[in-house]
Amino acid sequence: MNRIRLLPEQVANQIAAGEVVERPASVVKELVENSLDAGASRVAIEIQAGGRSLIRVTDDGAGMSRDDALLCLERHATSKIQRAEDLSSIATMGFRGEALPSIASVSRFCLTTRERDGDSPEGTQVVVNGGKIVAVKACGSATGAVVEARQLFFNLPARRKFLRSEETESSHIERYLTLAALACPAVTFEFIKDGRVVWQLPAVKANERLAALRERLRALRGAEERLLPVDFSGTLPAYGQEEEFREARAARERFDVWGLIGAPGVSRSTREEQHIFVNRRPVENRGVNYALLEGYHTALMKGRYPVCCLFIEVDPAEVDVNIHPAKREIKFHREKAARDLLTQAVRQALLEFHQRVEAKPVLPQAPESKPVYAAPPLAQPVDLPHFTKPASSVPPPAQAPAVPAAAPKQESSPALLHVPLRLVGVVGKLYVVLESDRGLVLLDQHAAHERILFEQMMRRLEENVAAPSQRLLLAETVELTARDADFLRGQLKALTRLGVGLSEFGERTFLLDALPPFVRASDPRRFVIELVDELKAAGQSVNTLRLGEHVVAKTVCRHAVKANDPLAGPELENLVEDLRRCAMPYTCPHGRPTLIEMNYRELERKFGRAQ
């Protein structure tokens, strides 16, 4: 008896479907990608019961002839891949030709299509039931394609049981559609859920890609958050030594990043609003997530995630998209280099946010060559907008920086610290109330002070200048528990470099003989003990024994500021001036905002004067 039998094609399709069709959202993804690849300018997606009872995708793309319609339902028939080698440089989205037969094998499936450039006035309809073609007929149809998948997994009860609630499934679908809509602003999208229109996104006309993205985001989200443009061209390290193929290599070294990221202070508690695309394909990659956080550095609170919509463009040969059957996860061949470039792109955008409106009067000067890595502007203080007193009725100085003529095209209003601010008062001994021409501004004294101290400290460390420190009149000894003493020993070097003069003075005893000048601690010993506690807490969260210098600096700053008295009048003015000179003035080193702005429009809305 012959025990070996060939798998019938239907079974093979169902197995393949297990890889590709995880849930309704993956069906939607495959179908929408097909529509986009077919050059559709309009895609409508309709679902019922979270996609369990119906998924229908209608497009006005190229459509198919009767032969093609039948062929595309055969496994591994794809117009996009001719040879196996082509897999390495796939630039289109839906290269998985097996998606359609896979979907058809696990649903009640119907494809209706008519070729855009064909001569036939009629369309074709193919009805497939759990993988079996049950009808092929001519029919009236608009050009393009309508694909319907009803009762997903009806023939695989075990899979059907694993589907989550309708809400969960439809939120996965919506998440994917959001990504597709962001990647293709020129395409009209319509999303209908249980007969109700969820969104209707008209095609964006703007040619400029950032403007188009902004407009699409606005259509999706309504009110726009403070987003900063990213426009970065990087170069991956050169490959090999050969002189030939120079051109081919140049293409492979390109690493461009563009899109929008949240301004300092704009963040979320999940990664939900973090949209990353590689060659227009939405992706997940842990290195990319890490690079984003690195890029924000101190502009993001712990446990918060950036808001972003970023497009990375690289040679497709630099990316491995086949590590996940549904192509969600990708791998860069040169992961570390890619990560560093992304970090650089984000950081540059954040630094530019502050610097771009630094409308220095145009001086006839030899053009300075721009440093590759923008240094914090601390070193060259520029003319800053005046800090006027509330008493003066003088209008804001004429030289108040207007948006320079050559300002980057993307943003209209200058950053907050580039408009004149008038001091109104202080509330709660902590919040400084300021007024700008745009409305109300609140400044958190502690956060601002922390940022200033932090940048001063880091700059000294980078320049390898010993931090100034104030000798104590009387050195004090501080005794700690054995464990704390052990811990502190590991941080001594960093602390000394930061101006905290501590040295070992026995098994568990340390000698404190100097403090940074800005620390006005009335009880130096307590200052050290509390500092150790805070450092320990910081150490637990990063899970290392030896803390990085910037972690120590952050903690010293926070603690120094806490130990300080509230500032008054002229000190406050200095505070704002010093903040203006910071590279990342809008957050404290822990990522909390230093300033909050409420413009007149918002005030009017709150008082019911405007909608």
- Using the contact rule CB under 5 A, the part of the chain among 39-47, 99-107, 497-505, 589-597 near Zn ion is 589-597
Q: Nearer Cβ to Zn ion, position 457 or 480?
A: 457
Q: Does 588 bind Zn ion (CB under 5 A)?
A: yes
How far apart are CB 300 and Zn ion at their closest, in Å? 12
Asked if 381 and 580 touch (Cβ cutoff 8 Å), the reply is: no
Stretch that binds Zn ion, among 26-34, 239-247, 360-368, 587-595 (CB under 5 A): 587-595
The alpha carbons of the chain give a radius of gyration, in whole angstroms, of 30
Stretch of residues binding Zn ion (CB under 5 A), selected from 193-201, 297-305, 460-468, 580-588: 580-588
SS3 417: helix
Our CB check for Zn ion shows the closer of 68 and 530 to be 530
The rounded distance, in Å, linking the Cα atoms of 56 and 124 is 17
Q: In the bound complex, what is the minimum distance in angstroms from residue 568's beta carbon to Zn ion?
A: 22
Are the beta carbons of 274 and 291 closer than 8 angstroms?
A: no
Question: Measured from the CB of residue 534, what is the shortest distance to Zn ion in angstroms?
Answer: 11
Smallest CA-to-CA distance from 30 within 3, 12, 1, 57 is with 57
Q: What is the rounded CA–CA span in Å between residue 101 and residue 598?
A: 55
Provide, rounded to whole angstroms, the least separation between the CB of residue 587 and Zn ion.
Answer: 8
From the CB of 558, what's the least distance to Zn ion, in Å? 5
Comparison of 46 and 450: residue with beta carbon closer to Zn ion: 450
CA distance 337 to 113: 45
- Residue 432 Cβ vs Zn ion, minimum distance, rounded to whole Å: 16
166 or 450, CB closer to Zn ion?
450
User: Which tokens in the block code for residue 64?
Assistant: 């198919």
Least distance in angstroms from the C-beta of 226 to Zn ion: 20
Determine if 455 is a binding residue for Zn ion (CB under 5 A): no
Distance CA 593, CA 443 (A): 9
Number of H helices, E strands in the chain: 16, 25
Q: Which is nearer to Zn ion, 301 or 529 (CB)?
A: 301
Min separation Cβ 448 and Zn ion, Å: 10
Structure tokens at 232: 């970065």
Subset of residues 183 to 222 that bind Zn ion, contact rule: CB under 5 A: none
Region binding Zn ion by CB under 5 A among candidate stretches 8-16, 279-287, 289-297, 588-596: 588-596
Q: Least distance to Zn ion from the beta carbon of 560, Å?
A: 11
DSSP character for 409? T
Longest CA pairwise span in the chain (Å): 104
Number of alpha carbons in the 13 Å side-chain half-sphere of residue 294: 15
Report the distance separating Cα 352 and Cα 167, nearest Å: 41
By C-beta, is 495 or 557 nearer to Zn ion? 557
Minimum CB–partner distance for residue 306 and Zn ion (Å): 18
Q: How far is the CB of 459 from Zn ion (least distance, A)?
A: 18
- Evaluated on CA atoms 450, 451, 457, 458, the torsion sign reads positive
Considering beta carbons, is residue 307 or 561 the nearer one to Zn ion? 561
User: What Cα–Cα distance (Å) separates residue 449 from each residue in 49, 239, 454?
Assistant: 53, 46, 8
Selected range binding Zn ion among 49-57, 194-202, 318-326, 586-594, rule: CB under 5 A? 586-594
Site residues for Zn ion, window 24-63 (CB under 5 A)?
none
Per residue, the 3-state secondary structure of 225-252, as one string, reads: CCEEEEEEEEECCCCCCCCCCHHHHHHH
Residue 217 vs 588, nearer CB to Zn ion: 588
- Cβ-based nearer residue to Zn ion, 189 or 296: 296
Looking only at residues 368 through 387 of this chain, which bind Zn ion when binding is defined by CB under 5 A?
Answer: none
Instruction: Give the per-residue contact string, 424-453, with Zn ion (x = CB under 5 A; - = no).
Output: --------------------------x---
Only one of the segments 53-61, 394-402, 584-592, 596-604 lies at the binding site for Zn ion (rule: CB under 5 A); that segment is 584-592
Out of 114, 252, 356, 590, the only residue in the binding site for Zn ion (CB under 5 A) is 590
Shorter beta-carbon distance to Zn ion: residue 193 or 590 = 590
Name 109's bridge partners: 128, 149
Query: What does DSSP assign to residue 51?
Result: G
C-alpha span between 178 and 173 (Å, rounded): 9
Q: Pick the stretch among 59-67, 141-149, 234-242, 590-598 that binds Zn ion (CB under 5 A).
A: 590-598
CA-based end-to-end distance of the chain: 81
* CA nearest to 515, candidates 571, 547, 453, 469: 469
| Closer CB to Zn ion, 349 or 588, in the complex | 588
Size of the site for Zn ion (CB under 5 A): 3
Q: CB-wise, 204 or 300, nearer to Zn ion?
A: 300
CB of 170 to Zn ion, least distance (A): 40
Distance of CA 295 to the CA centre of its chain: 10
Binding site for Zn ion (CB under 5 A): 450, 588, 590
